[in-house]
Structure 1
Amino acid sequence: MNPFSFKFTALASLLISSGSTLAENVIDDHIVVSGSRFEQKLEDVTGSVTVITEQDIERQLAVDLQTMFKYDPSISSTGSGAGAQTLTVRGVGGNRVVFIKDGRRTNDGYAGGGGYLVGRNYFDVAGVKQVEVAKGAASSLYGSDALGGIVVITTKDPRDYLVDQQSLVKVALGYQGQSNQVAADITAAKDLGDFAISAVYSHRDSEEVQNYVEDLPGYDARSDALLLKVEQKLDEKRTLKYTLDYFNQTTEQVITPSIQETEDEDTNISFALDYDSDMATAIFDKWYGQLSYSRYEQKSDQISAARNYIDYNDYGFEQDILGLKAVFSKEVKGENTEHEFVYGIDIDLYDTTRPRLKTRVLNDGTVDFTNEKQKAFPGADTSLVGVYMQDSIKFNETDWSLVAGIRYDYYALEAKKDALYADTELNDITESAFSPKLGVIYQVDDNLSWYGQYVRGFKIPPHDQAYQSHGVEPFYQILPNADLDPESSDSFEIGLRYASSDISVNLSTFYAAYDDFIETTIAGVEPTYIPNVNKTFYQYQNISETQISGVEAGIDMYVTGDILLEANVAYVDGENKDSDQPLTSISPLNGSILVSTEFGNVNWTAAWRLAKAQSDVVLDTNGNKTTQGNGYGVVDLYANYQWQAWQMNVGLLNLLDKEYVPFELIAGQSKGTDFSQYSQPGRNVSARISYQF
């Protein structure tokens, strides 16, 4: 379907269908920070932003990234449950999307077979206030890696709990049917005068998220999370905040005892000191500063048996991030214009290591070798320094607003010295880039506005892709490439927003051209000593140009005083211009419809997720089309009940017990392959009950 004709068809269909959550018959106007790094109304942002609130998480019983965004057709996810998860926004994902939690960057993912083995889901949703996804490049404010968008996770501060009370205690129990997860969390907050403190503790026990026929090898998982915050009010205009954020998850899988076993442990711990000041000076009205330290550590102990031996693998991934940032804002009012300046500096220092050790025991009990180092990629020291400024200009006596911003980034990557890679060329990499942004808003009337924006995106070559050097003899070898160029993009978006007390409509169309996209390529093939078996050399290389375009539309509307409808639809098209092949990261035409209403004290929501089969697919090495997948429709039902201090949420997921496979999980695979392992769970139930003292 032509994307330009599709957008009008989509908008017409949206005007007769839609749904979400009831909010006293008023469509919410969200406050976001992703557009300017200071709070502003969503209607003032030049670009598309998805907002998931604490109420959305509770009512839809979301427990991770995959369940949080399932009703946004422009955002797809890979992985589920306790496994690694990543988000793809408008066809761009992985490390091309920046994750920010409470102002600080979270850990990278590193590339592994078929995806990111280290995901970004290693946090708990308990205590989350809001999650924003700004779609499209955001490098003008957030620097490198914000090529495809940003995910901003904001957790609740002590005074968010203590709105009109001195103390609070809330306990909750939950069950999530997809993974048989049993969860318990407790939240406590206390006002101590100049100090306010809050603590959120969560514990979860779960199993593997099964496919439809439930024949995947299972695992057991458990996690513990603690979010501790202390706010200190220095005076009426200055506040300090101390944060400890801890998350630990362990998964254990036993396929055959002592033959094939895996135990993974993922730990995230962060400390942050935040300073907020509203004491105005000549150069700023208020400013925010943060000093943070984060450590992510993955440990993977594996037992893997072959014909003549058993390997005991001790693999790890460790990343320390030291962050320092300051954000300033200044309002300047003139006779003809009003300016809102935002400017600041970001410094992030990464220390990354990838230890891999192997012990091999022969079948007769002889120890062949012990704790022998294995190749993957050496560690790296990464330095990111960026300075930026953005000016939001309101032209008085007109209906026009302008947003202009620019950021300069300096980046340095240095491989760690390791004798294991002594014969490998691992040059240091230094790069710099300017990332401009220009946006405009035209306010037609009090309800209707148009916006447009251009943003330049920038992404540094990541350490694992530049320095990865390992393989399995004699079958394949991954070659490092320290000559990788940074990825960049030029993205454009035009959109419409209409909002009144009982209806809101959003329509946007976008186009992005990506230069030097980094992808895996075959660098060479040579024969081996095994007859008819060749050794393949892979390497990360730059693709000269990739293009992605699409259209999105959404509507929230009160059909009657107590029936709210919401509908969203997204169409994305992407192509590798080097090969004239479609991108495997592109989702098919898909959408969602939600209908919410109230009966007595119970709020009911029926949700329908739909996806079309993808016909434009990549060709295999023989020139044949890979799998196209199938379209599907899935119905979910939610009920929410609140009585005094009690709250109960219940969900019946995949109500009609539909067997389906999301295209994103099988894109690029051969036709005729058995895709049953990728099928999604059948009918299942989730529930949560909480009580607040």
Structure 2
Amino acid sequence: MFKQTTISLSIAAAFFAAPSSVAEQFEKDSEVIVVSGSRIEQKLNDVAGSVNVVTEQEIERELAVDLNSAFKYQTGITTTGSAGEAQALNIRGIGGNRVVYVKDGRRLNDAYSGGGGLIIGRGYFDVDNVKQIEVAKGAASSLYGSDALGGIVVISTKDPSDYLSDKDTYIQVGLGYYGVNAEKSATVTFAQKLSDFNATSIQLTRRDGEETQNYQETLPGFDYTSNAVLLKSEFNLSETESLLATVDYFDQDSEQIITPSRVETVDDNESVSLSLEFDSRSATTLYDNLSAQVYYTDFEQVSDQVRWNDGSRSRTGPYTDYNDYRFEQSIFGTRLVLDKQFDLGFSSHQLVYGFDFDSYETSRPRFKSRKDAQGNTLIDHEGQKTFPGADTTMLGLFVQDNITLIPDTLTLNAGLRLDRYDMEAKESALYDGTDFGDISETALSPKLGVVFSFTENLNLVAQYARGFKIPPHDLAYQSHGVEPFYQILPNPDLDPETSDSFELGIKGGFDSTQFSVTVFHSKFDDFIDNKVVRMEASPIPGMPPKAYYQYHNVGKVEIEGFEANYTVWLNDNIAVDTGLTYTKGKDKETNTYLNSISPLNGFVKARYEANNWSVTTAFKGAKRMTKVSDVDKVKTSGWGTIDLFAEYDFGNLRFNAGVFNLLDKAYIPYESVAGLAADANLEQYTQPGRNFAFNAKYTF
């Protein structure tokens, strides 16, 4: 099946010299404005590193409802998680907390991984209010500090002025249905110019859905609802100064009842953010533009579980556990970004500099209550150990100089950032007698990029960048066990994980074609993983020795590969877009393949657009995966799927529809089973069969 992708890519490449007549409605990537390259606005074509962009138009046309569906057709990026659940992006084989997520200038909550699965993800926001999502691939700590080990995800939402560009009032209502999980959605957007100095917008989105089923439709069911509210108010203090106040709220509840009163789970994920941002274009000696922001975010996950036990290993007989598991994280942040343009000798400079300060309070309270079959209380709200949580502060000072050495020919991007972080465990009587210790370190992160223009339409780009990730609090302060089998010990001596990323690529943007080819190589040092530090004889005769585990800096990883994108406008109506990704990675300590790497994969999209309607056919496929870390690890077969999208614009009413997995193929993406045992039952990981979706939006 993957051969079809290669053939399609070859066909697309044959149109490199296609006619230059281009329909104006086709947006060119080279004109897309991004902020992830320098923390100020730049054309995507002027950025030395690799950046993928998903726009609101793509989200709407492809009926995306979450991170998973928004990044389905992107090179170098894969996703984990399904609609209604935690989700996260994997960038060139690196994911989790090794990637920074920033929304409207605010850091999003951490991910917490436990029990081999993603419990807390970063998918807890609504895509309906998204203006653009940028993903900068590779290390990016020179601008964004800790966690930018493998990349950054920058999410931007619409301001009131985006709705009110040529009017005083804007109202839009939307209804949608997403068949893969029977999700029904309703959105209302209202924006109003209140005076010459003030405009306000509010968007409300409600979603009700079910679990995303496997192909056989045998997964346990659950229901979920989500509510999103985005309120923004802009104040024009003068012709050059403005203030933006934001309230961003998201709540997602899910309920799963497998056996009433015996196996039940109710989850509530809630996030609220308050932000105030000041922007000035009043040029001074120190800056041409200034952006200052202060924000507060509070995230909480509550999981209430009922678990019945037959009592076969208990002296009390059958009993029922009532678990109250939580993850709580609040972030207070402030940041300042300034830029200044000036000439020095024969060179022109655009200096970007500033600081970030973020303070995290994180806790992981877990409580258990237990009742026997007669309803007697055996355990009453007893605390359970995992890790005590932590207070973390991070301060970063950064500077980047975008230097034009030869106008329209040679540009350098030189950046440097100094970070200081301090982390200490929270006090808790549950961990009395445990020595956690404090973690304090500094990190220096350089970056150097080059953009060389052969012509106005053809650029050679190269970049080196450094990344680092502070020791995760949930690993450094992990302290729990099951007697007399094992114990996990905290380790306050962990060093930060670091990375060095190298890229070399070529970008072309012509009248009717555009393309990019990038080769990359990344080295990661001091990866954190657990290992056995000692064994002790069990106090129970006949039992195996008790193992003591502790997280240490043990890993050295190398990842390399290439990515290629090619888009051609055949005429005013037809465009073809293709992408191909090849990645390989190894643990250099053990000389084994990484399970986080995806197999060779690619996509082809062909779009026909008339005056007020369009149709898109999209193919995505992946080669079989055989390069796994161990012969006992699962391998997957190659696969390919076809989706269809259609859009009709009636003027005030815009209608989108889609058919996913048109040929009703049963397949398993490697990313969903990576690291599992070769003999594992993979039925639950098969992807949904053919399904439908539609969305209608009416603008008054």
Instruction: Compute the TM-score of the two structures, normalised by the length of structure 2.
Output: 0.94
Identity %: 47
Match of 2:45, SS? Answer: helix
Letter of the aligned partner of 2:25 in structure 1? E
Match of 1:128 in 2: 130
Match of 1:291 in 2: 294
Match of 1:92, SS? Answer: coil
Deviation at 1:335, TM superposition (A): 4.8
Deviation at 1:425, TM superposition (A): 2.2
Structure 2 counterpart of 1:550, from 537, 557, 561:
561
Deviation at 1:379, TM superposition (A): 1.6
Structure 2, unmatched stretches of 5+, are 1-5, 311-317
Say if 2:96 is the partner of 1:94: yes
Deviation at 1:353, TM superposition (A): 1.0
Match of 2:28 in 1: 27
Structure 2 counterpart of 1:206, from 190, 205, 209:
209
Match of 2:450 in 1: 440
What is the rounded CA distance, in whole Å, between the counterparts of 1:306 and 1:573 in structure 2? 44
What is the rounded CA distance, in whole Å, between the counterparts of 1:515 and 1:9 in structure 2? 39
Match of 2:619 in 1: 608
Say if 2:652 is the partner of 1:645: yes
Q: Given that residues 375 and 420 in structure 1 are in contact (C-alpha distance below 8 angstroms), is that contact kept between their aligned partners in structure 2? A: yes
What is the rounded CA distance, in whole Å, between the counterparts of 1:609 and 1:561 in structure 2? 25
What is the rounded CA distance, in whole Å, between the counterparts of 1:266 and 1:683 in structure 2? 30
Match of 2:97, SS? Answer: helix
Deviations 1:458-483 (A, max 9, x none): 11001101011123344443332221
Deviation at 1:302, TM superposition (A): 0.4
Match of 2:218 in 1: 215
Say if 2:352 is the partner of 1:342: yes
What is the rounded CA distance, in whole Å, between the counterparts of 2:131 and 2:27 in structure 1? 20
Letter of the aligned partner of 2:449 in structure 1? G
Say if 2:171 is the partner of 1:169: yes
Structure 1 counterpart of 2:580, from 554, 557, 569:
569
Deviation at 1:81, TM superposition (A): 1.1
Deviation at 1:422, TM superposition (A): 1.6
Q: Per the alignment, do residues 672 and 105 of structure 1 end up closer, same or farther by CA in structure 2, a change over 3 Å counting?
A: same
What is the rounded CA distance, in whole Å, between the counterparts of 2:229 and 2:415 in structure 1? 37
Match of 1:273, SS? Answer: strand
Match of 1:559 in 2: 570
What is the rounded CA distance, in whole Å, between the counterparts of 2:265 and 2:644 in structure 1? 36
Q: Per the alignment, do residues 476 and 656 of structure 1 end up closer, same or farther by CA in structure 2, a change over 3 Å counting?
A: farther
Match of 1:126, SS? Answer: helix
- After TM superposition, the structure 1 = structure 2 runs for residues 30-429 of structure 1, keeping only pairs within 5 Å, are 30-192=32-194, 193-307=196-310, 308-396=318-406, 399-429=409-439
Match of 2:314 in 1: none
What is the rounded CA distance, in whole Å, between the counterparts of 1:475 and 1:161 in structure 2? 60
Q: Given that residues 12 and 568 in structure 2 are in contact (C-alpha distance below 8 angstroms), is that contact kept between their aligned partners in structure 1? A: no
Aligned CA RMSD, in angstroms, stands at: 1.9
Deviation at 1:524, TM superposition (A): 4.8
Match of 2:674 in 1: 667
What is the rounded CA distance, in whole Å, between the counterparts of 1:589 and 1:35 in structure 2? 27
Deviation at 1:531, TM superposition (A): 5.0
Deviation at 1:113, TM superposition (A): 1.3
Q: Given that residues 518 and 540 in structure 1 are in contact (C-alpha distance below 8 angstroms), is that contact kept between their aligned partners in structure 2? A: yes
What is the rounded CA distance, in whole Å, between the counterparts of 1:669 and 1:642 in structure 2? 46
Deviation at 1:534, TM superposition (A): 5.7
Deviations 1:115-142 (A, max 9, x none): 3310001111121100000000100000
Match of 2:531 in 1: 521
Match of 2:455, SS? Answer: coil
State which drifts further: 230-239 or 104-113: 104-113
Q: Given that residues 8 and 604 in structure 2 are in contact (C-alpha distance below 8 angstroms), is that contact kept between their aligned partners in structure 1? A: no
Match of 2:3 in 1: none
- After TM superposition, the structure 1 = structure 2 runs for residues 453-472 of structure 1, keeping only pairs within 5 Å, are 453-472=463-482
Q: Per the alignment, do residues 691 and 530 of structure 1 end up closer, same or farther by CA in structure 2, a change over 3 Å counting?
A: farther
Letter of the aligned partner of 1:606 in structure 2? T
Deviations 1:212-259 (A, max 9, x none): 011100100001110000000000000001100000110000010000
Match of 2:665 in 1: 658
Match of 1:587 in 2: 598
Letter of the aligned partner of 1:89 in structure 2? I
Match of 1:140, SS? Answer: helix
Q: Per the alignment, do residues 17 and 649 of structure 1 end up closer, same or farther by CA in structure 2, a change over 3 Å counting?
A: farther
What is the rounded CA distance, in whole Å, between the counterparts of 1:625 and 1:406 in structure 2? 44
Q: Given that residues 69 and 75 in structure 1 are in contact (C-alpha distance below 8 angstroms), is that contact kept between their aligned partners in structure 2? A: yes
Structure 1, unmatched stretches of 5+, are 1-7
Q: Per the alignment, do residues 397 and 128 of structure 1 end up closer, same or farther by CA in structure 2, a change over 3 Å counting?
A: closer
Match of 2:315 in 1: none
Letter of the aligned partner of 1:688 in structure 2? N
What is the rounded CA distance, in whole Å, between the counterparts of 2:419 and 2:523 in structure 1? 20
Q: Per the alignment, do residues 530 and 210 of structure 1 end up closer, same or farther by CA in structure 2, a change over 3 Å counting?
A: farther
What is the rounded CA distance, in whole Å, between the counterparts of 1:9 and 1:653 in structure 2? 22
Q: Given that residues 14 and 553 in structure 1 are in contact (C-alpha distance below 8 angstroms), is that contact kept between their aligned partners in structure 2? A: no
Q: Given that residues 537 and 545 in structure 2 are in contact (C-alpha distance below 8 angstroms), is that contact kept between their aligned partners in structure 1? A: yes
What is the rounded CA distance, in whole Å, between the counterparts of 1:13 and 1:340 in structure 2? 42
What is the rounded CA distance, in whole Å, between the counterparts of 1:300 and 1:397 in structure 2? 58
Match of 2:512 in 1: 502
Q: Given that residues 110 and 116 in structure 1 are in contact (C-alpha distance below 8 angstroms), is that contact kept between their aligned partners in structure 2? A: yes
What is the rounded CA distance, in whole Å, between the counterparts of 1:121 and 1:211 in structure 2? 20
Q: Per the alignment, do residues 265 and 141 of structure 1 end up closer, same or farther by CA in structure 2, a change over 3 Å counting?
A: same
Q: Per the alignment, do residues 252 and 286 of structure 1 end up closer, same or farther by CA in structure 2, a change over 3 Å counting?
A: same
Q: Given that residues 529 and 555 in structure 2 are in contact (C-alpha distance below 8 angstroms), is that contact kept between their aligned partners in structure 1? A: no
Q: Given that residues 408 and 456 in structure 2 are in contact (C-alpha distance below 8 angstroms), is that contact kept between their aligned partners in structure 1? A: no
Deviation at 1:15, TM superposition (A): 1.6
Match of 1:561, SS? Answer: coil
Letter of the aligned partner of 2:695 in structure 1? R
What is the rounded CA distance, in whole Å, between the counterparts of 2:211 and 2:408 in structure 1? 57
Deviations 1:407-459 (A, max 9, x none): 00000000011111123220100010100001111100011010101101111
Letter of the aligned partner of 2:376 in structure 1? T
Match of 2:459, SS? Answer: strand
Deviation at 1:541, TM superposition (A): 1.9
Match of 2:48, SS? Answer: coil
